[in-house]
Amino acid sequence: MGAATRNLSGKRREQLLRAARKAMKHAHAPYSHFRVGAALLTAKGELYTGCNVENASYGLTNCAERTAIFSAVAKSGPGLTIRAIAVVNDQGVPCSPCGACRQVIYEFGPDATVLFQSSKGWKESHITELLPEGFRLQ
């Protein structure tokens, strides 16, 4: 496990999961009825949340992870560094971040820990395990 995982306490994990569950309740999911929430912890200790927001033009739908990240950037600026991000859903099924979300997480957190429900229960992965060839242009 990466340094970010080793430094994330059980209390912090629970805080992230609670915040993600709360954010999930705000999801706009009239088409899939699949509500997702995300909570991220920045390197500065700030917490931001997001939920999925669906659109009748499905390609315009935004995932919870990206909503949380974009909200954090909108509030704090482009210097955001993600330490950890948690993802939950209302169906209790495995739900790791999609490919687009993995790349956006990597952009702002190349050493981030990602918490999500897998087929074997809750899992913590380093973002490079989920996106081995992530890239940044900086």
Q: Which residues are catalytic?
A: 65
Measured on CA atoms in the order 118, 56, 16, 101, is the torsion positive or negative? Answer: positive
User: Taking Cα atoms as reference points, which of 31, 81, 73, 80 lies closest to residue 52?
Assistant: 31
- Enumerate the β-bridge partners of residue 114: 85, 125
User: Taking Cα atoms as reference points, which of 32, 78, 27 lies closest to residue 49?
Assistant: 27
Distance in angstroms (rounded) separating the CA atoms of residues 59 and 62? 8
